[in-house]
Amino acid sequence: MTVRLLNGVFSQVLLKPACGCTTPIVPVQFLGISPFQVPSRANFHSVSSSDTEHPRVLITGGLGQLGVGLAKLLRNRFGKDNVILSDIRKPSDHVFYSGPFIYSDILDYKNLREIVVNNRITWLIHYSALLSAVGEANVPLARDVNITGLHNILDTATEHNLRLFVPSTIGAFGPSSPRNPTPDLCIQRPRTIYGVSKVHAELIGEYYHYRYGLDFRCLRYPGIISADSQPGRGTTDYAVHIFHNAMKSGKFQCYLKPDTRLPMMYIDDCLRATLEIMEAPADSLPMRTYNIGAMSFTPEELAQEIVKHVPEFQVTYNVDTVLQAIADSWPMNFDDSNARKDWGWKHYYDLPELVTTMFNFYTSESRAAHVS
């Protein structure tokens, strides 16, 4: 076992088997105890060809709005056991029995490195972060998780030559950015700790890419709308809760003004974009951070579309000044022409499809509830 300075990180260089096969021999003491980690009797030389072809993926912050859906998509593609979901919270039975799940605290650098080594991770999807609203309510924690946590992720990814995905956001732009539309490259002076931490993530991720060759990839997500996963206390959450209320009570009180225009996207488009950029050949990525867009709408326009499905639906407005100020500092429309040009991004869901899909989910769910 040799120890050397690698990009400023002391690392234990893994011995290469004499046969030249690429699968490194991992010293036994690294073998962990989690049921999904590689069993100590494993003979690395016997890994099947499909196993080595597929990436071994770790998703941090896996129990947030996007992790479970992404794990499902990636497991369909790469095999159930090649995608490990992680978080600091306990998963539901459904999540726990749907595939590998382990505890991972990105502020615990040693734990993170052990997980990557013990599970022979090659791709890291970093979803741990405090979003805009909850970040403003707890700035020190947002700074720790979104910045210090990210540094642990960057060093681990660099040490183990991982392909790293870090999401950014429309929130990485501020009041001095062009808002209609907002291009990839323009002034970025956000006014939230979330936004500041995501601009930092974009810049330091690209710095590690150009300096150390880290395979860093980043997409700026709009507000994501999902039916079966709760949003993480952000400014765009109204666009998820409004559906729940439309079904349950036929009434919704919106905390943003009726004409507040924001870029939004249905979750399936978001997860597919994430897989597509992770699979994109490196030479198709002249940039490493991209806007991705689908639609942008106001609470009023969304309510009008919902009324087509729930005629008696009523929206009232009780503006939250903090969230309104955040939304007023964000893009109204997103220019994602570079993503469409460079790696062929295109969205499938516009507002009518989004609303129909959300109600199909809720009606099938409520129908299932009635049946059960």
Which stretches of the chain bind ligand VAH, using CB under 6 A?
A: 131-132, 169-171, 194, 221-223, 231, 234-236
Given a contact cutoff of 8 angstroms between Cβ atoms, the answer to whether 215 and 166 are in contact is no
Q: Between 100 and 195, name the residue whose CB sits nearer to ligand VAH.
A: 195
194 is catalytic: yes
Q: Between 236 and 245, name the residue whose CB sits nearer to ligand VAH.
A: 236
Angle in degrees, CA 203, 209, 211, rounded to 5: 95
Residue 108 CA to residue 88 CA, distance in Å, equals 11
User: Across 247-333, where does the E strand assignment appear?
Assistant: 251-254, 262-266, 289-291, 295-297, 314-317
Q: Is 51 helix (H, G, I), strand (E, B) or coil?
A: helix
Q: Between 158 and 236, name the residue whose CB sits nearer to ligand VAH.
A: 236
- Which residue is closest to ligand VAH by CB? 234
- Least separation, in Å, of the C-beta of 72 and ligand VAH? 20
Given a contact cutoff of 8 angstroms between Cβ atoms, the answer to whether 166 and 216 are in contact is yes
Tokens 């700035």, residue located: 139
Burial 201-231 (b: 16+ CB within 10 A, else e): bbebbbebbeebebbbbbbbbbbbbbbebeb
- Least separation, in Å, of the C-beta of 6 and ligand VAH? 33
Q: Between 115 and 254, name the residue whose CB sits nearer to ligand VAH.
A: 254
Q: Between 11 and 65, name the residue whose CB sits nearer to ligand VAH.
A: 65
- Least separation, in Å, of the C-beta of 234 and ligand VAH? 2
- Residues forming a β-bridge with 11: 4
Given a contact cutoff of 8 angstroms between Cβ atoms, the answer to whether 170 and 321 are in contact is no
- Least separation, in Å, of the C-beta of 133 and ligand VAH? 6
Q: Which of 103, 109, 127, 194 is catalytic?
A: 194
- Least separation, in Å, of the C-beta of 37 and ligand VAH? 32
Residue 186 CA to residue 283 CA, distance in Å, equals 24
- Least separation, in Å, of the C-beta of 144 and ligand VAH? 18
Q: Between 91 and 231, name the residue whose CB sits nearer to ligand VAH.
A: 231
For residue 136, give the H/E element and its range. helix 132-137
List, by residue number, the catalytic residues: 194
